[in-house]
């Protein structure tokens, strides 16, 4: 068994049209022998189902912070302790803003605030949202405290524009994740 088999990656999925990209990210992480646990914001449920992500990750997907766990444990702290990396892909302006503002009102933000693991954020949003001064300040604030970012890149956005805001290439996301896991 490789050393990577013991590493745990928490994949956070937020409410972006790019949520479908989480499927391939999870598949690549599993192929590289990582233990993958998926956390979704409740809003992400509008874009992709927990069943899909659970099938790919081979672990229960958590999106309800107050769901009773199967075994008696505090879910957000037990996942936070288990994590070797937290990867948010896609990350919305809303999630970035919540993290920068200290708001922990869902399972994903609570795990991030409770972990000592590196956090890698792959933003995906409309170009105006990405360029908004508050979003830029939030990203700078998170980078200053040690969070890592990959992308976004220029590409076709859900609104039809060809501009910055498209989630980074999956190869780039994987390269950054593997670098942080070493």
What is the CATH classification number for the domain harbouring 160? 3.40.50.1950
- Residue 168's Cβ-count burial label (10 Å; 0-12, 13-18, 19+) is buried
**How many Cβ atoms sit within 10 Å of the Cβ of residue 133?**
7
Does the annotation count 159 as an active-site position? yes
pTM of the model as a whole: 0.91
Q: Supply the range of the domain harboring residue 77.
A: 3-181
Cα separation, 170 vs 154, whole angstroms:
14
Q: How many domains does the chain have?
A: 1
Which pLDDT tens digit goes with each residue over 140-151? 999 999 999 999
Give me the pLDDT at residue 82, please: 86
pLDDT band for position 116 (cuts 50, 70, 90): very high
Q: Return the pLDDT at 161.
A: 85
Q: Which of 23, 104, 110, 159 is catalytic?
A: 159
User: What confidence tier does 4 reach under pLDDT thresholds 50, 70, 90?
Assistant: very low
Q: What is the pLDDT of residue 160?
A: 83
| Cα torsion 22, 41, 129, 115: sign | negative
């Amino acid at each position: 068994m490789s050393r990577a088999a013991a590493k745990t990656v928490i994949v956070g999925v937020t409410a972006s049209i790019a949520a479908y990209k989480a499927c391939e990210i999870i598949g690549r992480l599993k192929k590289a022998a990582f233990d993958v646990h998926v956390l979704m914001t409740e809003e992400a449920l509008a874009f992709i189902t927990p069943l899909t992500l659970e099938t790919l990750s081979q672990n229960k997907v958590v999106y309800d912070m107050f769901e009773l766990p199967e075994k008696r444990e505090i879910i957000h702290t037990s996942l936070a302790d288990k994590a070797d990396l937290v990867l948010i892909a896609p990350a919305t302006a809303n999630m970035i803003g919540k993290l920068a503002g200290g708001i922990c009102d869902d399972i994903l933000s609570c795990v991030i605030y409770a972990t000592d693991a590196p956090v890698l954020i792959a933003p995906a949003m409309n170009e105006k949202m990405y360029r908004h001064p508050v979003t830029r300040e939030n990203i700078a604030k998170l980078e200053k405290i040690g969070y890592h970012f990959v992308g976004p890149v220029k590409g076709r956005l859900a609104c039809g524009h060809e501009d910055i805001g498209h989630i980074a290439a999956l190869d780039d996301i994987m390269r950054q994740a593997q670098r942080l896991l070493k």
